[in-house]
Amino acid sequence: MSSVRRRTVLGAAAAASALAGLPTAASAAPTTPSANKPLALPGGGDLGPNVIVFDPSTGGIQARLDQIFAQQETAQFGTGRYQLLFKPGTYSGLNAQLGFYTSISGLGLSPDDTTINGDITVDAGWFNGNATQNFWRSAENLALVPVSGTNRWAVAQAAPFRRMHVRGSLNLSPNGYGWASGGYIADSRIDGQVQPYSQQQWYTRDSAIGSWLNGVWNMVFSGVQGAPAQGFPNPVYTTLATTPVSREKPFLYLNGTEYRVFLPEKRTNASGVTWGNGTPRGTSLSLSQFYVAKPGVTAATLNQALTQGLHLLLTPGIYHLDQPIQVNRANTVVLGLGYATLVPDNGVTALKTADVDGVRLAGFLIDAGTINSNTLLEVGPSGTTTDHSANPTTVQDVFVRIGGAGAGKATTSMVINNRHTIIDHTWLWRADHGTGIGWDTNRADYGLVVNGADVLATGLFVEHFNKYDVQWNGERGRTIFFQNEKAYDAPNQAAIQNGSIKGYAAYKVGDNVTVHEGWGLGSYCYYNVAPTIVQHNGFAAPNRSGVKFHDLLVVSLGGQGQYERVINETGSPTSGTSTIPSTVVSYP
């Protein structure tokens, strides 16, 4: 999200034995190539040193959890990556505090197969009670019985809470109710109350909750049983009864002693969790059908595995790529554990897919390299029009970072060309803090560009790009929840000038688009380098009946820059330093 200076304006607004039980199949390291062609790569194998597996009989679990947290608590731009896996059973007396690049998951087919009598905690003591930089951590496929009755999950962007069962309540704010700016929940059941308190915006999808306490600016729900009624702008709830299309993220689980990856089936007009009535619906793949990748492997080897017909499981760590990972086969799965991170070198694209059905990309981070990449992720080739409605590609918990861990550049972060693609939770971030940052140092003009038709985004977070954060050219696109901040570091008004228009909209629908719809979209400005900058609007779209928006807002954070309008020429300007949203309930 942002720098410490920006935070000050927000207060008023609201074990060695741990690897026991892993398969002992042959290592997934590449075999020596012959003179003529490479030998076949093996599937399966061990999951590497940064995947820590516990079972209820494991000793020293809390000490191991504490050790990893101590290493990762403040390592916002560090190189450590960890996946914590809990075998089915019951665990008691644990408090798993999660730091950066740490994922915790159960290994059952249902969350209720793995119960922790204790807590999975995200708090912000490391940052003086400010949770707005609690990025890159996740919880998945576990049941929790919180010690106090309420579990604390005070996160910001890129911190999904998926397929969880909280047998109690869930507090989304840090201790002391400090600033918070998240977040995302999907396929989860919270028996008690969800308590956002200071969370400025949040998206919850296909879940069930006991109740919801409050909202600051932008609380969006689709397919959530127990969600509050539609009320935007007061109260700040955008509520859709169902989610038009959804397909849950693939996940690793144990079938006896065999590791498998479950692939949930697509749902249409869904509500509630997928796992509430016994075995979830879908198919599964043996780990032997995956190339289990370890940091240090080359892109050529990853592509060889894909060419052989294997899927990819990216174990935790950092992978440097000198050529794109090329996914050409329908129904290929690329699944990352523990925020496995792809770094494209020499200006290449990190990953490209072909115009095929059913690719599943999930659970990894792309970190831009020092030489500018034209794109970082491309779904489908330019110009494709193939119908993928029966079996779409899904992009889930795939995150992009440009700068922060060092200077990085990319003209466009993510390009979606294939029709019917589902983007289900992404954070595309041109860094505003860390190292290697500056208006031209980590230059990145566009966050998301959608050229394909019939694309759906559920949980879209895109921030700080030099030009359009989102440019949507495809027909019949839909977005449910959008969170944005414009780039803080524009040096002056001229630097953001878009022809005769003051600034580039956060979300721009192409001039030729005839049908588009969005629900619950927000854009904020904080031009702290040049506070006199004026941004004409947060949203720009053709003014025609088929292009519809519901529940829009723009906010000037503490008066550091202003918006003249919300969408096109509609909506009141922001003014002063009050950090009060300007809203539009319906457009046109």
Question: Which pLDDT tens digit goes with each residue over 267-294?
Answer: 999 999 999 877 789 999 999 999 999 9
pLDDT for residue 558: 95
Residue type, 15: A
| Rounded Cα gap, residues 548 and 541, in angstroms | 9
Q: Are residues 393 and 418 in contact, defined by beta-carbon separation less than 8 angstroms?
A: yes
Tokens 């095929």: give the residue.
356
Q: Check if 485 is active-site.
A: yes
Tokens 């959890």: give the residue.
65
Q: Peptide bond preceding 317: is omega within 30 degrees of 0, i.e. cis?
A: no
Helices in 175-227 by DSSP H: which ranges?
A: none
Q: Are residues 527 and 485 in contact, defined by beta-carbon separation less than 8 angstroms?
A: no
For residue 101, what is the enclosing H or E element? none
Tokens 């550049």: give the residue.
409
* From 258, 463, 485, 564, active-site residue: 485
CA neighbor of 366 nearest in space, from 344, 338, 381: 344
pLDDT for residue 36: 62
pLDDT for residue 279: 77
Q: Beta strand pairing status for 150-152 and 114-121? A: unpaired
Facing residues of 375 across strands?
412
pLDDT for residue 374: 98
| Rounded Cα gap, residues 478 and 548, in angstroms | 10
Structure tokens of 340?
């496995």
Structure tokens of 40?
């076949």
Q: Which residues of the chain have pLDDT under 70?
A: 1-36
Tokens 């700016």: give the residue.
181
CA neighbor of 342 nearest in space, from 370, 317, 375: 317
DSSP symbol at 300: H
